[in-house]
């Protein structure tokens, strides 16, 4: 096969490209330039898009003896990933930019361009497995629990999964990958992992949002409506946040307070006790299924954070909404804390990914058993989003 290897400049993508070459594929390496001012991106181990990363990718390609190119995807990245990040926070939601990068960049822009150029598949350094199932390829968790990336890949959909290769799917540890790199003479074998958000150069997400969205002073309120502090923009807060609240007074009972609601229309942040964060129902929109959508309640596990714990649940698909997107409903088998709208929720059957959706709403049923669709009343001053 003709395979386009996405090479970020890190050890994972370099070894993935090497394994694709070893498998006998006709491989071409490509580094995605995601910013026209990459000096604003992180350097060293703190990013995946710096100038030095491009150099590391080129050196790896030279060692492997494969052609290497740099593709400028900066405009698409700004218009999709960064724009989505800003608009979601501006709406009081909590996005995952890595999910959107996989959706819009690696498995849309990159894969579509590769297909147009005659490539059969794209190979990346993600930790996940593609398994041949009875009805086509299936996406499964990596055996490396600490590095598993099936959560951020779930958004890609079945069609794109068919044209994707994850050569690191069988590796149980990162040390094994580094050993492969060292054995092959790749200089990135000891390069530290990247982390955090690549386009937030200094790691200050709140400062990045303020620079882009502007300061918008407003009130922080307790659940009874009492003003307990001020903020510079409700968009900078997320459900479950405890630190950086800048409250002027402690809670009357002395307990810690958390963000329990963000209302960007009213520009208010509501704080309250931890128990208000626990939910047992989740509704998602923009659902993407990698298996047959379950029409009836079906047992599964769900995960709402990239490296969060999967919890038992039941799920069912719901009809297409007014905006034309399919959705899903989830009843959790145990309470989850701090689930925020905008997060990605991924549905699993064992190690297999069944589907993914964006959290539209999370709530807790009433303790008196008032019915499966009953809700706990919202705290005073809070807004329960539809």
Dihedral over Cα of 282, 385, 373, 286: its sign: negative
- The active-site residue out of 48, 49, 98, 198 is 198
- The active-site residue out of 48, 49, 98, 101 is 101
Question: Is the separation of the CB atoms in 113 and 73 below 8 Å?
Answer: no
**Rounded to the nearest 5 degrees, what angle is found at the Cα of 98, between the Cα atoms of 168 and 268?**
155
Cβ-Cβ contacts under 8 Å for 209 (sequence gap 6 or more): 86, 89, 233, 235, 236
What is the rounded distance in angstroms from the CA atom of residue 379 to the CA atom of residue 242? 17
Count CB atoms within 10 A of the CB of residue 350.
10
**For this structure, is 98 an active site residue?**
no
Q: Which helix (H) or strand (E) holds 4?
A: strand 2-6
What is the rounded distance in angstroms from the CA atom of residue 29 to the CA atom of residue 379? 53
What is the rounded distance in angstroms from the CA atom of residue 37 to the CA atom of residue 44? 16
Burial 88-106 (b: 16+ CB within 10 A, else e): bbbebbbbbbbbbbbbbbb
**For this structure, is 198 an active site residue?**
yes
DSSP string of 25-79, one letter each residue: -EEEEEEEE--TTGGGS--GGG-SSSHHHHHHHHHHHHHHT--EEEEE-HHHHII
Residue 225, classed as helix, strand or coil, is: coil
Q: Which residues are catalytic?
A: 101, 198
């Amino acid at each position: 096969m003709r395979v386009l290897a996405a090479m970020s400049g890190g050890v994972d993508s370099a070894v993935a490209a090497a394994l694709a070459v070893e498998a006998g594929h006709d491989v071409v390496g490509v580094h995605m330039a995601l910013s026209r001012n990459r000096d604003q991106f992180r350097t060293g181990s703190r990013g995946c898009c710096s100038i030095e990363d491009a150099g590391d990718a080129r050196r790896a390609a030279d060692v492997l003896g494969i052609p290497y190119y740099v593709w400028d995807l900066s405009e698409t990245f700004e218009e999709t990933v960064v724009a989505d990040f800003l608009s979601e926070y501006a709406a009081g939601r909590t996005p995952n930019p890595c999910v959107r990068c996989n959706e819009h960049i690696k498995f849309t822009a990159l894969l579509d361009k590769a297909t147009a150029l005659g490539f059969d598949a794209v190979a990346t350094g993600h930790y996940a497995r593609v398994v041949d199932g009875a009805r086509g390829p299936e996406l499964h968790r990596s055996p490396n629990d600490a590095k598993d990336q099936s959560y951020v890949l779930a958004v890609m959909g079945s069609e794109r999964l068919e044209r994707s290769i994850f050569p690191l799917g069988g590796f149980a540890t990162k040390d094994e990958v580094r050993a492969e790199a060292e054995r092959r003479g790749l200089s990135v074998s000891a390069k530290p992992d990247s982390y955090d958000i690549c386009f937030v150069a200094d790691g200050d997400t709140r400062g990045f949002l303020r620079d882009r969205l502007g300061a918008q002073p407003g009130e922080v309120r307790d659940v009874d409506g009492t003003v307990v502090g001020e903020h510079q923009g409700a968009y900078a807060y997320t459900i479950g946040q405890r630190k950086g609240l800048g409250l002027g007074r402690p809670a009357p009972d002395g307990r810690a307070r958390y963000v329990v609601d963000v209302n960007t229309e009213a520009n208010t942040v509501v704080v309250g006790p931890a128990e208000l964060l626990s939910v047992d129902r989740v509704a998602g929109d923009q659902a993407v299924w990698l298996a047959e959508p379950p029409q009836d309640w079906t047992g599964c596990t769900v995960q709402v954070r990239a490296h969060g714990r999967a919890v038992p649940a039941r799920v069912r698909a719901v009809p297409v909404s007014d905006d034309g997107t399919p959705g899903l409903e989830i009843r959790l088998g145990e309470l989850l804390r701090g689930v925020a709208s905008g997060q990605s929720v991924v549905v699993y059957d064992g190690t297999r990914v069944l589907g993914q959706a964006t959290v539209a709403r999370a709530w807790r049923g009433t303790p008196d058993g008032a019915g499966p669709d009953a809700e706990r009343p919202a705290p005073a001053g809070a807004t329960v989003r539809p």
